[in-house]
Chains A and B, each alone.
Chain A
Amino acid sequence: MLADQALDRLQRGPDRSAGHREFTSDLSIEELAAVEEAGFEPRELVGGTCVFRVGWQFMGWTEAREVDVLSTAMYESRERAMQRLVSEAARVGADGVVGVHLDIDFDHWGSGLGEFTALGTAVRHRDRPGSMRTPTGEIFTSDLSGQDLWMLLRTGYRPLGLVMGCCVYHYSAQGISQWFGNLNQNAELPNLTSAFYTARELAMDRMQKEALGLGAAGVVGVTVSQQSHVWGGHTLEFLAIGTAVRAMETATAHDPTRMVRHLDA
């Protein structure tokens, strides 16, 4: 689903005598330099949006388990935003999208409504367009900065895709006897430990499954965050996100890394 305006913007052919179209980007100056040195040219600032009513399901006060309705909604809506970002990138002939940020806004559209946004800069390989697409010919996505992309390629890996896994978990309150038992004591709260443990593992496992599906050798830059968004206490989303990578088919030799001592730090 692309807005008409997006189509106009993305399909506009070369309209200058120089025969190229100007790019937009949210790249910093440093990223621009790194991306270009890595052999890419920026094409366009691309994005995807999905406004989703995330739903709700009844959870008992003492229930500790995954809130499937929310896990599905949080994943599905991010996934849709990503798909739209990729289809915008495809229209400008991109090989990949770098610096992808995922954002959620629960404040503005109405109660229960979340706006999921993915935004990044579409890039294309300058000399061999298409060569940096994934082995299956897909556009790669990555939350790595331009500098990190440059470093990743030098290290002998190529990005395959942004992978993520999420799990919304409802953890129970302490039982009354547990509460009394722990009164004024330093004690582990096993039900919380196990809830957080399980939820985080589920999120990481789902992310890893996505990476497996892409044929990745590994995932770099994984962050696992937890947020209660608008659900108040006892309900948390665990989100694991990173960039799936695989080794380059042909390794290129580079100068060795030099060590420097900064005098100002």
Chain B
Amino acid sequence: MPDLAPPWGSTLSVAELAAVRSEGFSPVGQVMGTCVHQVFAYGPNYGGGLGMGGYGGGLGGGRAYGRGIAGGLGSYGMGGGFGAGPLGGGGPLGGGPLGTGGPFGAGAGLGSWMTVELTGYSEALRSARRLALDRLAKEAQGSHGVVGVRLRVRWLEETARILEFTAIGTAVRAQNRDAKGQPFLSLLSGEEFAKLLRGGYVPCGVAIGVSALWVGGGAGVNWTTMGPGYEIQQYSEAAARARSSAIAGMHEDLRRLGADGAVGGNVVAQVTHQQEGGLPVRTVEFSAMGTAVMRFDKDGPDPISPVLGL
């Protein structure tokens, strides 16, 4: 029995194993990180969670938050005033100064034209992902990095707003070299990992951006009549804004990691809607995730030549 090392577990397919080994890496073991997190989309943001659920029209104002005032606020200047009318009860809360970020700032929410960033909610979604990944990285301590990270997000109990985030991957180490510092994380398959190295890049982490917006419902949409179509500017802007903020979040991660860029960007947009005080409102959620990569010195990437498969 020449080799008594315990067997390694891995999520790698045979082809992935071959590809990883072709670059001089061997699997160390399967690693995992989990985070079960409660998330509230509608609470006032300063609490980051509990608080007024926000379904009741009267308290709707609570969901406005300092930096969350829509870009379009200027044009609707009287957010508070608008708010109070349609939903009633908004009055006492709605009168607060606009855009100041006071506890009930802006009384916004209530106006049917407002778009408000759900800062606390997006931050919760982002940090829960981060926690799962960080725990996976902790398990991978002593290896060079982790390939094939899969991040699964699922509702455990939707009504209780509980989400489970689980990341699973395979830790690898370069043969005959000591692992120093933090292991890199990557969403790449074994083959992709090999191709990336041959292309002159190394993975250096996972970049994540999440953005969620609360979008008021009115917008003067006439749902039924015949006739030519038109754009709903408020919604277009909200969707574009959610996407941009999510990508901006990725940039933050990239800068923190000192990366040159992100590849394999996976962007998921999601819109949910419900009634609040008789008016339709929506939340727009946009998440972006990719593998951060860094160039390394190499005598140029391997050349590519076209082949015609028979």
Q: Report which A residues bind B (CB closer than 8 A).
A: 1-6, 8-9, 12, 15-16, 20, 22-30, 32-34, 36-37, 42, 44-45, 47-58, 69-70, 72-73, 76-77, 80, 84, 105, 107-113, 115, 117, 119, 121, 150-151, 154, 255, 257-262, 265
Contacts and interface: CB of A to CB of B under 8 A. Distances in A.
Contacts of B273: 108-110
Given A3-B240, A109-B282, 19 more contacts: A16-B255, A22-B254, A24-B207, A26-B265, A28-B263, A32-B201, A33-B198, A45-B267, A47-B243, A52-B232, A55-B226, A55-B228, A55-B229, A108-B271, A113-B221, A115-B271, A260-B308, A260-B310, A261-B309
B37 interface: no
Contact of A111 (B195, B223, B245, B269): B223
A237 B304 CA distance: 40
29 contacts: A2-B240, A5-B245, A22-B254, A25-B261, A29-B188, A33-B195, A37-B303, A42-B261, A45-B262, A45-B288, A47-B240, A52-B229, A55-B227, A55-B228, A55-B229, A57-B226, A72-B228, A77-B229, A77-B231, A80-B236, A108-B270, A108-B282, A109-B271, A113-B232, A119-B267, A257-B306, A259-B308, A261-B309, A262-B310
A16 B256 CA distance: 11
B223 A110 contact: yes
A150 B304 contact: yes
Contacts of A28: 192, 263-264
B239 interface: yes
A11 to B, nearest CB: 12
Interface string B242-269: 0111011011001100011111111101
A84 B240 contact: yes
B301 A37 contact: yes
Contacts of B269: 105, 117
A150 to B, nearest CB: 7
B307 interface: yes
A80 B233 CA distance: 11
A258 B301 CA distance: 20
A76 B251 CA distance: 32
Contacts of A115: 235, 239, 271
B75 interface: no
Given A6-B244, A45-B267, A108-B273, A32 B199 contact: yes
Contacts of B262: 22-25, 45
Interface residues of B, number: 65
A160 B22 CA distance: 39
B69 to A, nearest CB: 11
B44 interface: no
Contact of B235 (A1, A9, A25, A109): A109
Given A9-B251, A52-B231, A56-B227, A1 B308 contact: no
A72 B228 CA distance: 8
B304 A33 contact: yes
Contact of A53 (B232, B251, B271, B290): B232
B265 A24 contact: yes
A23 B308 CA distance: 32
A4 B70 CA distance: 10
B213 to A, nearest CB: 10
A73 B228 contact: yes
A262 B267 CA distance: 34
Given A6-B240, A29-B196, A42-B261, A36 B301 contact: yes
B219 to A, nearest CB: 9
A32 B301 CA distance: 11
Nearest to A9: B248
B235 A258 contact: no
A58 B201 CA distance: 57
Nearest to B117: A5
Contact of B195 (A5, A20, A22, A30): A30
